[in-house]
Amino acid sequence: MDTNNRIIVGLDIGTTKVCAIVGQLSENGKINVLGIGKSPSQGGVSRGMVANVAKAVTAIQSAVEEAIKQSEVDIKTVFVGIAGHHIKSLQHRGTLSRKQWDIEITEDELNKLEEEMENLALSPGLEIIHVLPQEYRIDGEDGIKDPIGRVGVRVECNYHIITGETSAAKTILMAVRRAGLEVADLIVEPVASAAAVLSDPEMEAGVALVDIGGGTTDICIFDDGSIRHTAIIPIGGDRITKDLQEAFGILKDQAEYVKTHYGSCYPTETMKNEVVVVPGLPGRNPKEISLFAISQVIQARMEDIIQKVDFEIVVSGIRNKLAGGLVLTGGGSGMKDITQLFHYFIGLEIHIGSPGQRLGKGFIDEVRNPMYATSIGLVIKGFELAQKNDALAGNNQRMSKQDTIATGEFFTETEIEMETIPGYIPTPQTIKSNPRSFIGGWDLFKNWMKDGEDFKEDKVS
């Protein structure tokens, strides 16, 4: 299938919400959002990992059905994000010895070197998700970004390798399949968020991306255009909500409302004279809570997150090289005064990043919010991977009026009215990016799927 006409669907299975975004490429390489669907996770996901398959399936079905209605696309395959505290990263060097120095280095040779990385010995229960090349060395010459076409005998490459638990990946597969869909590939969420939010100059200069989601805070650190460190902290915005709930004895929905409408990361003296009234439980009086007390609770938890982020930046070993500072994204980045608090503790330049720069036309006003960074990034990475492997995700197609709403087992045969999507461009072009910038473990992933045939029938709730 022609990549120019391909439609990619990103599925972000988050702790607080499941979001499906249908995207197609515009003429300038940006993403035209054809449809978006979202649904509360309803307890199906915890700390970025599927905890209750049945609830996760229901949330996936609801989000995908809404995306289908908006986009009029027959969704069959999706690119899915994977997160959780089990995601780890390591550095490894691969070496390729060549018999003839005067023959140009080919892409096939580099692919062979990457395939060898996927055979690294790991602890039981772990699998390699991504193998990301950083820089090459040819016959002792360092700092080579693109060795194709050069000559030499000894080719070495430093790789950033991201691993995850096999059981977590197979549980995601199980949930998506039971929702009537197939997974084109798994993509680590901070890698996806970085694709949606960061620019090439930022990644060259050195930058740390911090995606504060509902259940996790994802970190992806770049320098000289390559990923140097990734980590996932199992604390996110829902922990702040729970802190408020416990501190003031209010309901979860009330705590979430107080956090988003009155919360701040910086308590000030003027807040002591301001209160918010929260309805009490049945038969009990309403509660008056000072904004100062609310901000104190939020600040305490945010400082906990910031300390862990700072630790990961130190572990990366390139703290002094982050000329691009720190970019905050995700739903939690919308907290009032959050940039000031991060700057106070970490000292780097801080700003909020949104996926707006990567968007063309369509549902732009809604999805330019930082909370959709991962979802948009999954679509972007899906297109990059599709360029590398044209066999992937080529079966998401625009529907005619006579088509049923979807082929998935959870949809009913209902006709939908065709509507013109504003700004829809029927002849998009491909993203102009380095196809080697993202190396998906597709062969390994197919093995996961094969090995998981028995697993997917297990009773998991």
Q: Is the pLDDT of residue 195 over 90?
A: yes
pTM for this one?
Answer: 0.83
* Structure tokens, 129: 């998700």
Is 369 a member of any domain? no
CA distance 7 to 397: 7
Q: Is the pLDDT of residue 447 over 70?
A: no
Give residue-wise pLDDT tens across range 103-128: 999 999 999 999 999 888 899 999 99
- Report yes or no: 320 and 309 within 8 Å, Cβ to Cβ: no
* pLDDT score at 251: 92
| Residue 427 identity | T
CA distance 370 to 2: 31
Measured CA distances, 90 to 19, 132, 304 (Å): 29, 11, 25
158, β-bridge pairs: 93, 135
Backbone CA torsion sign across 222, 93, 109, 1: negative
Q: Confidence band (pLDDT; 50, 70, 90) for 6? A: confident
Q: Confidence band (pLDDT; 50, 70, 90) for 183? A: very high
* Structure tokens, 85: 């505290």
Q: Confidence band (pLDDT; 50, 70, 90) for 223? A: very high
Q: What is the CATH number of the domain that holds 145?
A: 3.30.1490.110
Q: Confidence band (pLDDT; 50, 70, 90) for 415? A: very low
Q: Give the range of the structural domain holding residue 152, as residue numbers without chain letter.
A: 88-164
Is 258 a member of any domain? no
Q: Confidence band (pLDDT; 50, 70, 90) for 179? A: very high
Question: 2-16, 107-121, 216-230 — which is least confidently predicted?
Answer: 2-16
CA distance 111 to 89: 20
* C-alpha closest to that of 446 among 374, 389, 383, 376: 389
Based on the structure, what is the number of domains in the chain? 1
DSSP of 52-111: -HHHHHHHHHHHHHHHHHHH-EE--EEEEEE-STT-EEEEEEEEEE-S-TTSPP-HHHHH
Is 117 a member of any domain? yes
CA distance 90 to 40: 34
H or E element at residue 144:
strand 141-144
CA distance 80 to 184: 8
Across residues 148-175, what is the average pLDDT? Answer: 95
Is 32 a member of any domain? no
Give residue-wise pLDDT tens across range 161-171: 999 999 999 99
Across residues 210-221, what is the average pLDDT? Answer: 96
Euclidean distance between the first and the last CA atom of the chain, given in angstroms as a whole number: 38
* pLDDT score at 59: 97
Give residue-wise pLDDT tens across range 387-412: 877 645 456 777 654 454 433 344 33
Give residue-wise pLDDT tens across range 278-337: 987 777 888 999 999 999 999 999 999 999 999 999 999 999 999 999 999 999 999 999
* pLDDT score at 366: 82
Q: Is the pLDDT of residue 266 over 60?
A: yes
Is 155 a member of any domain? yes
Q: Is the pLDDT of residue 44 over 80?
A: yes
Q: How many CB atoms lie within 10 A of CB 16?
A: 18
Question: 155-164, 261-270, 446-455 — which is least confidently predicted?
Answer: 446-455
Q: Which residue has the higher pLDDT, 402 or 74?
A: 74
* C-alpha closest to that of 439 among 119, 211, 111, 182: 111
